[in-house]
Structure 1
Amino acid sequence: MLNTFQQSEHPMLVQSNHDQRARQEFVKSLKQHIQQGLLPSVQSTYNTRAVNAYTKKHQHPPKDYRQAREAFQDDPIFKAYLSVNRISQELQWFSVIDALDDTVESLEQTAKKLPAAGGSLQIPEQFTVPKYISELDIHCMPGGYCGPKGASPLHAGALYDRGVYLYAMGYMGPNNDDMGRSVCNYITRNNPDFKPKRILDMGCTVGHSTLPYAEFFPDAEVHAIDVSEACVTYGHHRAEGMGVPIHFKQANAEATDYEDGSFDLIVSHILLHETSKSAMPKIFQECHRLLKDGGLMIHADLPPFDEMDAYTQLILDNETWFNNEPFWTAMRNTDQIALAIEAGFAKDKVKFDNAPMAIMEIAAAAESYSEEMAEDLADREFTAGEYAPGGGWEVLVGQK
């Protein structure tokens, strides 16, 4: 899987020289080794040494991530894994920053010369970014989603665009759009007659997941919002450079200024685990307000802990402990169905479901591609591991 998909070129993608590219490929390979090379040994050690010792002491094996951490936290194998995993996370950003520093001025010039694709960018004169976003280097990204103070307005978006591809090790596909593409596939299969005219993507960052909606629903007007001015600015130029008309806007999903019933479809992609526990109910309420009758709300993220064994919970909980993901665990412990009902969605109109990863389906249908690509895909094992457990995205679906 390691190099099945390289990131597709587009006018706003940060350019790297040979050495910088080699360093980035090393980081991607290291992350792959951690998941496919180290994690099996970590799990084997947990299942034997840690579980046996904990069971002997408590007369039962660990039941959840808290007990699993108690059982495993002092084990040298676990500590070694945590150390290497944290280093790889920091390296993924640093491997891009050098190239970005060398090319950010040229990206600014490119942005000024892009032909119009029909999209727009709206930045309000006064806007307050929530402190849980502005004051935190989320997932160890220097400057977080808003970027370092004083940096180019394209810095955070360009860093995220390349960095998240390395983090995903290619699993997001050539355009980093697997989540959006997977949800679009889910909609067309489960609601084939649903033809939204206005779509809103909440917490869009740079619009990776937004663009497939313009492809799948070409008659729809697609809007994308995020609290980060840097992300929506870069996202706008990225979409224009790729020839896709998207209307980007700096706005908070907790309270937008769109009118009631403005949208037929509201989506988000890994927004919920990046937002605070107090903000999540407000986001659900805003979704209900903004949807037309019969409209759909779909939030794509990762499964709640109650669907996992204690070891898997532990590995994922490490994102909160060691990767600057403060809301990751809280989101997994939140009753999102109850929040949706409290926001106004009928109980029988809300459910969790699974949207298979589009890239996994590409692998399964490899015979429909060129012979060379089919052979390449057929020889590779698509095991999402930590990245997307079960090979799909958990989707919370609500209909108004």
Structure 2
Amino acid sequence: MLNTFQQASHQILPQATADEAARQEFAKSFKGFIQSTLLPGLTPVYNTRVAKAFEKEHGRAPQDRRDIRSGMVKDFYFQHYAASNRIAQELLWESVNVSVDRQLPELIERARELSASTKAKLVIPEDFVPPRYVTAFDIHCMPGGYCSEVTKDDVAVGALYDRGVFLYSMGYTGPNNDDMGRSVCNYLRRHAPDFKPRRILDMGCTVGHSTLPYKEYFPDAEIWGIDVGAPCVRYAHARAAGFGLEVNFAAMNAEETTFEDGYFDLVVSHILLHETSGKAMPRVFAEAHRVLAPGGMMIHADLPPFDLMDPFTQFILDNETWYNNEPFWGAMRDMDQIALAEKVGFDRSAVKFDTAPMAVMEFAAAAEGYSQQAAEDVAERDFTAGEFAPGGGWEVLIARKAEAAALAA
């Protein structure tokens, strides 16, 4: 069943004309049609045609996602599915870009006004250079990627991402695209009610979708969202101000931040890791450990590992690697995150997935108790829906830095 949520408007969200809104809704619906109608057809195609042809050619059944892919790419039904999926992705961004381009001067000016209205910090060093694994191509086919700027104080790609990611997720991340942050806050509320972090760092925050729930749940905490995209954090800062929330943002690389040792009590990320690289990901873990205070927690919400999926499901998900400019998508799932966390200093006994050997995050927007009305009621935010539950779509790595006494020993 398709999700019926509509994105909640806010002070800096690009507004669409009737024609633009129709194009955007078509792009979202087309993507929904592909997922609900074309995607399920891949299973019988594989079972009745591709697997048999592969076994006839190779004298054995397909063993892994790579074997399956080598057979499926030859099949016309898969070709039709893959082409449609790529076209839908490109249409999605194009439908939003029209609105952003038309309003860009007004969006920039509105961002300046909103940012000037808040005491929260916005830090964008003039000499900051984003990593090449982000700038070398347009991740998930978003024109300009996260870092492109075409004018002074540009917010274009931030605005594009804000609206585009709602269409990409077909509404399942909620009216404010904040499902993942809300769900991590739920986890902490339910399983660590006495944990009251004074400072929180959100790595790879993009436009702050998942950052803002931490300020709502921990209103007295100092919150920082960092990202390598300057236009994104510029937009994020203004967006947070529009919501009346004082949240600091900075253009900064999660591999090497400028924060002092032990500054934060909680370090989080939401779908950051699969957009880094094999060399960067261990550095992100090490930096999280460095900036955490003793007893602090690291929580990374991202994609579930391949080793708990059947090969055909791995093949389906790995299509993002091949057709959606997500080069680290599949490789990240093959990495042992617990081993990485242990290597940078986290005690193995304090590193876990919420439901061994992994946890997955339920979409709060689809969960019981998360209604459109509740989402729009800013005065009484609902943190009762959404948490980590088997059957969802996100892996959640949770690690706690050893207490001071243990570190000294």
CA RMSD for the aligned pairs? 2.0
When structure 1 is superposed on structure 2, of 311-320 and 258-267 the one drifting more is: 311-320
Deviation at residue 102 of structure 1 after TM alignment = 0.8
> Who is 1:286 aligned against?
287
Deviations 1:272-327 (A, max 9, x none): 00001101111110011111111110000010111111111111111111111111
Aligned 8 A contact 1:198 1:220 in 2: yes
> Who is 2:14 aligned against?
14
SS of the residue 1:145 aligns to: coil
SS of the residue 1:356 aligns to: coil
- Rounded to whole Å, the distance in 2 between the matches of 1:366 and 1:207 is 20
> Who is 1:300 aligned against?
301
SS of the residue 2:16 aligns to: coil
- Rounded to whole Å, the distance in 2 between the matches of 1:250 and 1:147 is 13
Deviation at residue 166 of structure 1 after TM alignment = 0.4
Amino acid at match of 2:249: F
> Who is 1:141 aligned against?
142
> Who is 2:83 aligned against?
83
Give the length in aligned residue pairs.
381
Do structure 1's residue 355 and structure 2's residue 356 form an aligned pair? Answer: no
- Indicate how the Cα distance of structure 1 residues 85 and 263 shifts in structure 2: closer, same or farther if over 3 A, else same: same
SS of the residue 1:297 aligns to: strand
SS of the residue 1:355 aligns to: coil
Aligned 8 A contact 2:227 2:254 in 1: yes
- Rounded to whole Å, the distance in 1 between the matches of 2:370 and 2:398 is 30
- Rounded to whole Å, the distance in 2 between the matches of 1:64 and 1:86 is 24
- Rounded to whole Å, the distance in 1 between the matches of 2:342 and 2:364 is 29
| Equivalent runs, 1:1-400 vs 2, <5 Å | 2=2, 4-58=4-58, 60-114=60-114, 116-147=117-148, 149-150=150-151, 153-352=154-353, 353-361=359-367, 364-365=368-369, 390-400=391-401
When structure 1 is superposed on structure 2, of 49-58 and 277-286 the one drifting more is: 49-58
Moved over 3 A (4+): 55-61, 148-152, 365-370
SS of the residue 2:360 aligns to: strand
- Rounded to whole Å, the distance in 2 between the matches of 1:43 and 1:15 is 40
SS of the residue 1:252 aligns to: coil
Aligned 8 A contact 1:179 1:393 in 2: no
SS of the residue 2:394 aligns to: strand
Question: TM-score if structure 1 supplies the norm length?
Answer: 0.91
When structure 1 is superposed on structure 2, of 230-239 and 41-50 the one drifting more is: 41-50
The percentage of aligned residue pairs carrying the same residue is 57
> Who is 1:381 aligned against?
none
- Rounded to whole Å, the distance in 1 between the matches of 2:265 and 2:371 is 36
Amino acid at match of 1:276: S
- Rounded to whole Å, the distance in 2 between the matches of 1:193 and 1:56 is 60
Deviation at residue 150 of structure 1 after TM alignment = 4.7
In structure 2, stretches of 5+ residues that fail to align are: 354-358, 375-388, 402-409
Deviations 1:33-86 (A, max 9, x none): 001011111222112211222334445532321111122110100000000000
Aligned 8 A contact 1:302 1:393 in 2: yes
Deviation at residue 393 of structure 1 after TM alignment = 2.1
Deviation at residue 218 of structure 1 after TM alignment = 1.4
Deviation at residue 191 of structure 1 after TM alignment = 1.2
Deviation at residue 30 of structure 1 after TM alignment = 0.5
- Rounded to whole Å, the distance in 2 between the matches of 1:354 and 1:348 is 20
Deviation at residue 392 of structure 1 after TM alignment = 4.1
Deviations 1:185-226 (A, max 9, x none): 112122121111100000000100100111111121111101
In structure 1, stretches of 5+ residues that fail to align are: 371-387
- Indicate how the Cα distance of structure 1 residues 366 and 158 shifts in structure 2: closer, same or farther if over 3 A, else same: closer
Deviations 1:341-375 (A, max 9, x none): 110001111112233221232xx2379979xxxxx
- Rounded to whole Å, the distance in 2 between the matches of 1:228 and 1:366 is 31
- Indicate how the Cα distance of structure 1 residues 151 and 3 shifts in structure 2: closer, same or farther if over 3 A, else same: farther
Amino acid at match of 2:321: T
> Who is 2:377 aligned against?
none
